[in-house]
Amino acid sequence: MTKLYFPAGCPELKPRPAQSLRDNPNKPHTPPCAKMQGAARGKKKKGAFSMKKAMKKLMAALLAVAMVCAMAIPAFADGSSSTSSAAVIKYTITAPANGHTYEIYQIFTGDYDALQPSMLTNIKWGKNGTGTAGDAVEQTVLDALSKVASYTSDRDKLDVIDKYVTLTNPVETITNGGSVDVVGGYYLIKDQDGSVPSSETYTPYIVSVVGHVTIKPKSNEVPKFTKKLKDTNDTTGVITGWQDSADYDIGDKIPFRLQGTVSKDFDSYKTYYYAFHDVEEKGLTFDSSSVKVFVGDEVTGTKIDASNYTVVTSPTDGCTFEIVFDDLKKVTGVTANSIITVTYESTLNTNAVLGKQGNVNTAQLEYSNNPRGNGTGTTPWDNVIVFTYKVVVNKVDQAGQPLDGAEFTLTKKLKDGTEVDMPMNIDTSKKSLFTLSGLDDGVYTLTETVTPAHYNTISPITFTVNADHTITWEAESRDSILTSLSGNTASGEITFDVDKTAGSLTTNVVNNIGTTLPGTGGIGTTIST
């Protein structure tokens, strides 16, 4: 009997799409597997040792199998001449306590010897092999497997192996730390289809010769995702880093960033779906022309040509827009360690909510989560929020009564010292009430441009709108992110009443009536000479 030996450990197999291998055995597929870790050795015999030649082919075949194994894999040995009558021995397969449900498929059966853990003898087709269960494995199968050793693509290697297993009616199913006993043989272990939550990825397929084994799945860390924005103070010129909250004037363009990783098993996938889903509230208007996508970050990364992805502006799932890669594998430079970054702008519009409720933008990442199937997973939604405020001016006389007829301008001071006009609304039913809606923090000047008759014009009033908000938003409610709002007067005599909920700073602006001065006769008298 010829014995073939293998290295003690090999990386795990990766799953193929759930479909009958019998129906389309030649469909191209390229799952990854690890590099060959060893080589069988033997001497070529002359003469009538045809079985020995066949076994050399078998050696090459099983070396290829060894490259895609996840655990120690005993070697196969031809047992066609064996007449062993040893009692059937069972071996235990134990699942990890990770909440997954595993299906066990029997490809081959054979005799396992714990004293020689690198050997399997008397190899027959198993219940899930493509041959007749109990029959010896055909020479054609061995020949086909022998070619795998020359393949350079890991996925191509697994494509060949997949042709000899039928992934229906597993011999056993175990879950979350459970165990089962099976006869010695060669088994494929995979996650049960539909059993993995969308927040997780499927474990790559594991192939192993069974003695007693514990399933040790390769790390299947899911992609990570964040959504961020930047805050800008127009007066100081300070621009923050990427964070979760900001405040802006209505009409401002706001920079946003979406950033995700890819699966650690990225190389296991033949195709890899990758899509950003973004939902904006009505106070934000998305600018599709501003979209830029990078491998890496937006500063040092490589920009991805727009032909590689689609910007969907009217998705059917209720999102505002989506950035979709039908196959991220086609993008040059993307690896298991890559970060994909999307930057874009949205404008704060006149529908913006004022005050502590803010204007929320939320997003999530959808990604392929089954290396051998078509399923997708999603990250949790990640939120950012934009605040804006208002200043309310009540025009009154010195007695505190409403005073009509005044007009104002409001300007905002910029970093370079210039000032820009800000929009101002007059209440048509109460012409003494002025509202300046949609203001950012910063320094403002209120100037009276038209004064009611008989009243003195007020001096320009300069004041600062100050706001603080939590820059990291985790599980808090949206109305807790705005932590403070205030107005500080730099010149002029006004005091603000603050309503953080409404996002308002309210003040009275007083006009004093003109002064009547005393006079005596003589003015206007005509003197003749």
Residue 270 lies in a domain: yes
Let me know if residue 21 belongs to a domain.
no
Residues 174 and 285 in one domain: no
- How many structural domains compose the chain? 3
The answer for 438, left when phi > 0, alpha when psi is -120 to 50, beta otherwise, is left
Element (H, E) at 450: strand 442-450
pLDDT, residue 6, reads 30
**Residue 29 domain-assigned?**
no
**What is the distance between the alpha carbons of residues 244 and 477, in angstroms, rounded to a whole number?**
13
Do residue 405 and residue 321 come from a single domain? no
The predicted pLDDT at position 200 comes to 82
Does 401 lie in the same domain as 321?
A: no
Which tokens is 499 given?
């309503």
pLDDT at residue 114 in the model: 74
Do 377 and 393 lie in a common domain?
Answer: no
Note whether 131 and 138 are within 8 A (CB): yes
CA-based nearest residue to 403, from 435, 432, 427 = 432
- The predicted pLDDT at position 519 comes to 61
**Which is nearest to 209 in space by CA: 77, 84, 69?**
69
Q: Does any domain span residue 188?
A: yes
Q: Which of 153, 186, 214 is the last residue of a domain?
A: 214
As given in the structure block, the two tokens for residue 381 are 């939604």
**CATH code of the domain covering residue 422:** 2.60.40.10
What CATH number is associated with residue 381? 2.60.40.740
Is 18 within the bounds of a domain? no
Whether residue 518 is contained in a domain is answered as no
Residues 231 and 199 in one domain: no
Same domain for 54 and 98, yes or no, is yes
Look at residue 522 and tell me if it is in a domain: no
The distance between the two most distant Cα atoms of the chain, rounded to a whole number of Å, is 158
Range of 122's domain? 50-214
Do 449 and 368 belong to one domain?
no
pLDDT averaged per 10 residues in sequence order, the chain, 529 residues? 33 36 38 33 41 46 39 39 58 88 90 69 88 88 72 70 89 91 87 84 76 72 93 94 97 97 88 97 97 97 97 94 97 94 97 96 95 87 97 90 89 92 71 87 92 89 94 93 92 86 93 69 52
CA–CA separation, 412 and 439 (whole Å) = 9
Domain stop point among 332, 352, 387: 387
Q: Which of 192, 214, 236 represents a domain boundary (last residue)? A: 214
Per-residue pLDDT, 66:
39
- pLDDT for residue 351: 95
291 burial type by CB count under 10 A (0-12 exposed, 13-18 middle, 19+ buried)? middle
Do 378 and 425 fall within a single domain?
no
Q: Residue 220 corresponds to which tokens in the numbers above?
A: 């299947």
* Assigned token pair, 161: 């192996």
Distance CA(74)–CA(268), nearest Å, equals 24
Predicted TM-score of the model (pTM): 0.73
Helix axes 139-146, 50-67, angle to 10 degrees: 50
Residue 405's region, left for phi above 0, alpha for psi from -120 to 50, else beta, is left
Instruction: Give the C-alpha separation, 513 to 517, whole Å.
Output: 13
Task: Please give the pLDDT value at position 186.
Answer: 82
Residue 307 located in a structural domain: yes
Residues 282 and 153 in one domain: no
Check whether residue 202 and residue 250 sit in a common domain. Answer: no
Let me know whether 234 and 327 are in one domain.
Answer: yes
| Whether residues 234 and 284 fall in one domain | yes
